[in-house]
């Protein structure tokens, strides 16, 4: 969506084309249309659009996708720096950005 691309060249998304079977589920679940299927293989067409949600890697049946998934939230990062663990949504009370 116009004006809604975040920082360039930062995401940890990696695709192992050799493992990919072309099932297409990554392209289905990605909320930012980062993948397309071309010649029975997944292709990353918009790497900077990735928000590292992890839906693609979690649904890849052959583990061809790797991404260090997490929440892109400054508040979670602050809490993680203070308390350790990993940046996550525990204790967040806004939890409301999803429309469905």
Partner 1 sequence: MAEKISNLSFVTQDGREVPRVPVELCWADRLGDWKARWGINRMRYSVEPGLYAVGNPDGGSVVLVSANYKLSFDALRKELGGLDGWIMVLDTKGINVWCSAAKGTFGTDEVVGRIGLVGLEEIVNHRRIIVPQLGAVGVAAHEVKSRSGFSVIYGPIRACDIIEFIKAGMKATEQMRQVCFSLYDRLVLVPVEFVNGVKYLIFAIAVFFILSGINAGGYSSDLAMKEGVRSAVNLFAAYFGGAVISQVLLPWLPGRSFSFKGFSVGLTVAAFLLLLKLTGGRLETIGWIFLIAAVSSFITMNFTGASTYTSLSGVKKEMRIAVPLQLTAAIIGAGMWMVSKFI
Which residues are near partner 1 by CB under 8 A? 1-8, 10-12, 25, 28-33, 49-55, 58-59, 61, 68-77, 87-90, 92-100
In whole angstroms, the minimum distance from the beta carbon of 58 to partner 1 comes to 5
Do 51 and 32 form a contact (C-beta atoms < 8 A)? yes
In whole angstroms, the minimum distance from the beta carbon of 39 to partner 1 comes to 20
Q: Which CB sits closer to partner 1, 6 or 40?
A: 6
In whole angstroms, the minimum distance from the beta carbon of 1 to partner 1 comes to 5
Do 54 and 44 form a contact (C-beta atoms < 8 A)? no
Do 62 and 41 form a contact (C-beta atoms < 8 A)? no
Measured distance CA(86)–CA(96) in Å, rounded = 21
């Amino acid at each position: 969506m116009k004006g809604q691309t975040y920082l360039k060249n930062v995401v940890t998304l990696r695709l192992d084309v050799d493992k990919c079977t072309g099932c297409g589920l990554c392209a289905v679940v990605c909320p930012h249309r980062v993948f397309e299927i071309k010649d029975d293989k997944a292709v990353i067409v918009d790497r900077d659009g990735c928000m590292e949600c992890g839906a693609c890697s979690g649904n890849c049946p052959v583990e061809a996708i790797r991404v260090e998934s997490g929440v892109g939230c400054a508040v979670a990062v602050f809490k993680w720096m203070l308390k350790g663990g990993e940046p996550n949504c525990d204790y967040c009370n806004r939890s409301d950005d999803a429309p469905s």
